[in-house]
């Protein structure tokens, strides 16, 4: 993570007494990793400005976008149930290699961890866990395509693996795109753009959107 951001307050897109929705920067960890060099993260930054913060979900380190953070244990449980029950509508924007032949579709490819090459995930139709992604073309560019991705499940690296399986890996994906140098950082063109769900307390629709920088 950029050292200049360590003590800065994350961008807040939504806030009430129960939870906040913040923007995670690309290459920023959502929660602390292993080792003292990975203690700085979105949660640690947020904790500097709120009495209590509780993690509910996370984005891959290179992915930017919206993250929900609870401000109490009770709200952490309530929001976690919404995520588990797939009652959170999520939309991502990605830039993928090449031109897609169709305008929309559904990817249903089960995924599991590659036990010999963690954290890489692989498609496994026999032993993998159910993974579903809806996609649609937003814009066709010269050598790539901007796509809208709507995951119906939340498997590790789901969008990244599904795009690779389609033959159109996400630009800058150093795990699933062979065209990216191993040392390339901060170039994954994947952004968690919007979240919609029913507020666990008020019942009102919470709808937050943050456009990508690419």
In the chain, the domains with their CATH numbers are 3-209 (3.30.2350.10)
Q: Phi/psi of residue 94, each to 5°?
A: -140, 150
CA-closest candidate to residue 22, choices 68, 63, 55: 68
Percent of the chain with pLDDT over 70: 94
Number of H helices, E strands in the chain: 3, 12
Average pLDDT, the chain: 93
* Beta-carbon contacts of residue 54 (< 8 Å; ≥ 6 apart): 69, 70, 71, 72, 73, 75, 76
Structure tokens at 140: 């066709």
Task: Report the predicted TM-score, pTM, of the whole model to 2 decimal places.
Answer: 0.93
The pLDDT tens digits of the residues spanning 7-19 come to 899 999 999 999 9
What integer pLDDT is reported at residue 183 of this predicted model?
58
The pLDDT tens digits of the residues spanning 158-169 come to 999 999 999 999
Q: What residue spans of 14-85 are helical by DSSP H?
A: 42-47, 73-84
What integer pLDDT is reported at residue 33 of this predicted model?
80
For this structure, is 124 an active site residue? Answer: no
Catalytic residue among 16, 60, 114, 182: 60
């Amino acid at each position: 993570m950029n050292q200049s951001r360590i003590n800065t307050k994350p961008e807040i897109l939504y806030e009430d007494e129960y939870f906040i929705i913040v923007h995670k920067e690309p290459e920023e960890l959502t929660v602390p990793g292993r080792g003292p060099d990975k203690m700085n993260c979105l949660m640690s930054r947020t904790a500097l400005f709120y009495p209590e913060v509780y993690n509910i979900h996370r984005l891959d380190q290179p992915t930017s976008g919206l993250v929900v953070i609870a401000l109490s244990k009770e709200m952490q449980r309530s929001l976690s149930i919404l995520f588990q029950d797939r009652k959170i509508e999520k939309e991502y924007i990605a830039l993928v290699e090449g031109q897609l032949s169709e305008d929309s579709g559904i990817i249903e490819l089960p995924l599991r961890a590659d036990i010999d090459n963690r954290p890489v995930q692989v498609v496994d139709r026999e032993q993998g866990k159910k993974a579903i992604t809806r996609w649609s073309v937003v814009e066709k560019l010269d050598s790539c395509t901007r796509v809208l991705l709507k995951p119906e499940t939340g498997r590790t690296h789901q969008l990244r693996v599904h795009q690779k399986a389609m033959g159109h890996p996400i630009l800058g994906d150093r795990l699933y795109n062979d065209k990216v140098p191993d040392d390339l950082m901060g170039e994954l063109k994947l952004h968690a753009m919007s979240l919609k769900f029913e507020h666990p307390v008020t019942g009102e629709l919470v709808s937050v959107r943050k456009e990508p920088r690419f």
